[in-house]
Amino acid sequence: MSPAAVGMRKQQGGFTLIEVLMVVLIVGIMGLLVVINSPERRESDSAEETARTFYLKFQHAREQALLRNWVLGVEFKDDGYRFMRWQGDRWTIIDEGPLREVTLHSELQLDFIPGDFRLLDNITEGRGDVFREDDRDRQRGDDAPPRPDVFIFESTEFIPFRMQLISYRRSDISWQVDGRDGIQLRLAEGELW
């Protein structure tokens, strides 16, 4: 075999760097199109799936609090919940990413019960900035400023609470998130109370 034939044979054995980069670029663009075209929020009418979603979001919020040294909060409403972050001197609602606001399906009922924790009684003078109402919010005449029902601290500990999701269609099926100890969450089927 001539040396030129051996050289040609080696070139035909693999992909060039440009070819590999083009494939990665095409796959990346296709992935971006899937993400852009997917619905932003999908409502589930399943109490189990909604409870699991909240559980995972709450665990993610705890990880973010630890990694970024943030104080986070969760505000429960009749039709859903939203996460917020203490930033500067006020609570700001997180409106993007995995912690954006969730609106429950109309077939679900959310029951929230705060735990037995007297944090506000232990605040000393000058240390209550996170928990006090801002005078500027009252002066603006806006709707009430966001106020979390549950705080998630930098240590990942949180204010104890219980939450239950019940389906109106199947009232015999309910799911709960139990965080009564303020350290770990428990996800369970059936009624907590």
* Domain extent at residue 179: 47-189
* Domains in the chain, number: 2
Other C-beta atoms closer than 10 Å to the C-beta of 25 total 10
In tens, the pLDDT along 17-57 reads 898 888 888 988 888 777 666 544 445 568 889 999 999 99
**Is residue 42 a part of any domain in this protein?**
no
* CATH code for the domain of 174: 3.55.40.10
- What are the tens digits of pLDDT across the range 96-127? 889 999 999 888 989 998 887 655 444 444 44
Note the pLDDT tens digit of each residue in 156-179: 999 999 999 888 876 667 888 999
113 and 77 assigned to the same domain: yes
pTM for this predicted structure: 0.66
Give dist(CA 49, CA 40) in Å, integer.
Answer: 17
The answer on pLDDT for 71 being more than 50 is: yes
Residues with Cβ within 8 Å of residue 92, at least 6 apart in sequence: 84, 85, 146
Q: Are 22 and 53 found together in one domain?
A: no
For residue 82, which amino acid is it?
Answer: R
Strands (E) in the chain, as ranges, are 72-77, 80-87, 90-93, 102-103, 108-114, 150-152, 161-167, 174-179, 186-189
Do 33 and 63 lie in a common domain? no
Residues 87, 31: one domain? no
